[in-house]
Structure 1
């Protein structure tokens, strides 16, 4: 596929390749998008929005998340305040079953169709799986009509099978960043180990949710590499997070991604994956600031996490739902997710 040149700008190429034919941009083309000057940003966002509408439709999927096991993680992910290796304010804690049921009910009340149970672990042990199993059973028995997803770290084939038997339909396991940059972010496990879990999940028939965090010292080339690697994985959903520097972590002094760069990233990832659910996740409020989340919603995003993000506060669910109403973006109904 053609790369952009001085005589062949990337936006017309993307319009024909992605919008008209539905073929995602390749790595060198993604890099051209990320390098576009600010004056081309409105045109880029408009194109990404057109792509989203054509290949994904107008609906927005709404999700809430809750941590069943917080803090005390043995891994050294440099961005994470839940790592037990860093002097952060977060301490280890477990959420009980009534707390899980309450969180699921509050999520369902917003109109969300997705509820993700998250744990800060390398991978689940039997205690954690028992807690998740009991939680899912209690949520179902309480009458909460919502899809259940999980994010419990790296899995064995047997654990994947257990989650399938529990009725978990989607599994989140982020690659976090480009393969070439990953050793700068995590040293206690590898990018390849994460990729192996994703392969197991996909082979088992669960939906794959896989994204990462932007703003961890990666270059523009590595952002393009990451988008291309996600496109190759072909996940059902890609959550886009922007680094929130956490006190006590190695990244506590990192600067936020500049708002216009964040919007370029959103558009580039949409043009790399025209049919994928692209979800606004952590850091959007801080990163976009006065630009507002609506610019991303009109620049390729078609899913959103409402409420808080584990150890970080987000906007209120009502504020995000009001934004969707103002933008006249319908919320995806539960029946459409089944």
Structure 2
């Protein structure tokens, strides 16, 4: 694709604010801009982001309530059955530990607490365990609760809603045509079905991508439009961390400038949605992390599932230095 002409990205952003939808070709052009045009693109993305979210940044904290022991063979994941990564493996944390994590989320100034468990799908007993913890958290805090437990039945989704879970995360991860390259134990449509099931039950859908797993730019754009079609309220943009011992351990980290282009593209395609810079932020964006928030309006604070994040104070400082504000949860 031609990368030499300078487009008026600001004009395109202003038209999107007025209700225009970006075309596939326009979105693809965002990923092909020369690096010297990236600041123009980020400035334009910020116009859209600021229109819908001002200078607010949402913080999310994740707790790994069940680590490893997963029968799925997702090539990117250190918790999968094929992974040889040296990670902690444990069954479910106690209800008390899950509740304690909610208080830690408040200390980190997070507004959303994400309860995550490895595995293909939860049993009814496991869902009841999460429900018990969520009910106590809802009684004691004003945190929004996001659950990520794998594939769900209709009844399980309704149980989570009744307990007070606000959101359900199930990422599409990669393009349908690339899915067989990263997983064989379930398919792309299984993930689409799970997002649909959670949404139908009344859970706010959270679904995003892991970039850097061999997808083409064309596939990245098509995935952004698929997420738009699903009407996901929150869109995590992960960047692959090639963990030693996983099938994708030899993948190279994306260049920071490409990460910025991907974040801008996701903002242009999904202008009104929460765009969250998620796993791999520190490794892939590196010193350009602050620029990512000109397109995104949300980040994780603290560690991820099996990889380390940076200290919460570093994220607070990053946000303050930008002149942005943390959208805090009430204590």
TM-score class normalised by the smaller sequence: over 0.9
Looking at structure 2, the residues matched to 323 and 13 of structure 1 have their Cα atoms a distance apart, in angstroms, of: 29
- Aligned partner (choices 266, 285, 292) of residue 296 of structure 1: 292
Name the structure 1 match of 2:52. 55
Aligned-partner SS, 1:304 = strand
Q: Which 5+ residue runs of structure 2 have no aligned equivalent?
A: none
Residue correspondences, number = 329
Matched, 1:127 2:117: no
Looking at structure 2, the residues matched to 278 and 252 of structure 1 have their Cα atoms a distance apart, in angstroms, of: 26
Superposed counterparts of 1:180-195, under 5 Å = 180-195=177-192
Q: Which 5+ residue runs of structure 1 have no aligned equivalent?
A: none
Q: Please report the RMSD computed on the Cα atoms of aligned residues, expressed in angstroms.
A: 2.0
Shift of 1:111: 2.0
Shift of 1:333: 4.2
Aligned-partner SS, 2:325 = coil
Aligned-partner SS, 1:194 = helix
Matched, 1:79 2:76: yes
Name the structure 2 match of 1:97. 95
Name the structure 1 match of 2:147. 150
Shift of 1:56: 3.0
Closer, same or farther: CA 109–96 of 1 in aligned 2, 3 Å: same
Shift of 1:197: 1.2
Name the structure 2 match of 1:319. 314
Name the structure 2 match of 1:256. 253
CA contact (8 A) 1:79 1:246 kept: yes
CA contact (8 A) 2:28 2:217 kept: yes
Shift of 1:90: 2.5
Looking at structure 2, the residues matched to 109 and 53 of structure 1 have their Cα atoms a distance apart, in angstroms, of: 26
Aligned-partner SS, 1:60 = strand
Looking at structure 1, the residues matched to 69 and 25 of structure 2 have their Cα atoms a distance apart, in angstroms, of: 40
TM-score normalized by the length of structure 1: 0.92
Looking at structure 2, the residues matched to 22 and 49 of structure 1 have their Cα atoms a distance apart, in angstroms, of: 16
Aligned-partner SS, 2:180 = helix
TM-score normalized by the length of structure 2: 0.94
Shift of 1:6: 8.0
Superposed counterparts of 1:209-248, under 5 Å = 209-248=206-245
- Aligned partner (choices 148, 152, 160) of residue 163 of structure 1: 160
Shift of 1:97: 2.0
